[in-house]
Amino acid sequence: MLGTATSQPEVTHVSKRGFWLLLDDEELLVPFAEFPWFRQASIEQLTDVHWPSADHLYWPQLDIDLSVASIRNPAAFPLRASAAG
């Protein structure tokens, strides 16, 4: 059985274009243009992110699950839900 991850994801910067997410030694931009459901989120909601497995991120306050691969390469995931409102 694999052990649990010991590091935690961290939001390092938020701008009007998106936010930066640090996963171990990799920092990824999560642009609002590609992930519009984060656009209206508060800082508290953005920073409450869980990393239950290597390719799975979860924001419980927003009820959003994302594959890390979809952040690295959004074009490879053309089907996505639209932002409400």
Tell me the whole-structure pTM to 2 decimals: 0.82
CA distances from residue 30 to 2, 3, 5, 6, 62 in whole angstroms, order as listed = 28, 27, 22, 22, 15
- List the pLDDT tens digit at each of the 85 positions of the chain: 454 555 899 999 999 999 999 999 999 999 999 999 999 999 999 999 999 999 999 999 999 999 999 999 988 887 665 555 5
Instruction: Tokens for 70, please give them.
Output: 């979809």
Q: Which residue in 38, 37, 57, 61 sits closest to 48, CA to CA?
A: 61
* Distance between CA atoms of residues 3 and 13, nearest Å: 29
* Distance between CA atoms of residues 36 and 18, nearest Å: 9
What architecture is the 10-76 domain classified under in CATH? 2-Layer Sandwich (3.30)
